């Protein structure tokens, strides 16, 4: 799947939705809510909310390259990403409420989701959203937030590490665990147990 000029290959056993192209997101698009780029569910039931930003591939604004602006002050960008994660979680809850209006879903949804084989699950959108909601609201939640932040080759390893440390500190203060990845960092794959 392509996003922000980058190609992403997900394991075949993951359920992946490109959220901003999904019909549910299209209903709320333009209402002030922002969604992440990918919502994924691993076979373990773990939910991944993935936002992709390719700052290396953007045009300069006011003569400043976006990657350099992120290096200079990453916190405003982190606030935007945190809002996308929050909005996406709210939208998953809204989608669940939408399905709860359906009698068959209230009465049989959870049971049917367990009974149907993996072959059928891929063909039923409601099962994806039920599993996403269950992962999001479980105790403990089985949700990971991933920010794929592409800064480009000209950003040194040290600069990249400093930004990652600052951003991880920001999200830790916000009581959120997040993975910040890119194709040039040492960890360039999404790893979630």
Q: Per residue in 108-153, pLDDT tens?
A: 666 665 556 555 555 567 778 888 988 998 888 788 899 998 888 8
Residue found by looking up tokens 């990918």 in the block: 38
pLDDT higher than threshold 80 for residue 92: yes
CB neighbourhood size of 136 (10 A): 18
Q: Are residues 142 and 45 in contact, defined by beta-carbon separation less than 8 angstroms?
A: yes
Our measurement of the distance from residue 128's CA atom to the centroid of its chain's CA atoms, rounded to an integer in Å, reads 15
Q: What is the pLDDT of residue 88?
A: 93
How far lies 120's CA from each of 44, 113, 117, 128, in Å? 17, 9, 5, 11
Residues 145-161, buried b or exposed e (16+ Cβ, 10 A)?
Answer: bbbbbbbbeebeeeebe
Segment 58-88, tens digit of pLDDT:
666 666 677 888 888 899 999 999 999 999 9
pLDDT band of residue 172 (cuts 50, 70, 90) is confident
């Amino acid at each position: 799947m392509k996003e922000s000029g980058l190609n992403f290959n997900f394991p075949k056993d993951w359920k992946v939705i490109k959220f901003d192209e999904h019909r549910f997101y299209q209903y709320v698009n333009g209402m002030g809510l922002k969604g992440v780029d990918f919502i994924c569910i691993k076979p373990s039931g773990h939910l991944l909310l993935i936002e992709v930003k390719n700052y290396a591939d953007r045009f300069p604004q006011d003569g400043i390259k976006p990657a350099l602006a992120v290096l200079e002050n990453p916190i405003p960008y982190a606030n935007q990403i945190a809002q996308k994660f929050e909005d996406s979680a709210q939208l998953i809850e809204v989608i669940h409420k939408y399905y709860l209006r359906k009698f068959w879903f209230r009465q049989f949804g959870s049971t049917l989701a367990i009974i149907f084989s993996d072959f059928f699950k891929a063909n039923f959108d409601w099962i994806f959203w039920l599993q996403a909601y269950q992962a999001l609201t479980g105790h403990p939640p089985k949700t990971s937030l991933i920010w794929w932040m592409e800064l480009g080759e000209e950003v040194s390893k040290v600069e990249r590490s400093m930004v990652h440390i600052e951003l991880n500190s920001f999200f830790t203060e916000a009581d959120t665990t997040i993975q910040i990845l890119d194709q040039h960092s040492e960890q360039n794959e999404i790893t979630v147990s």
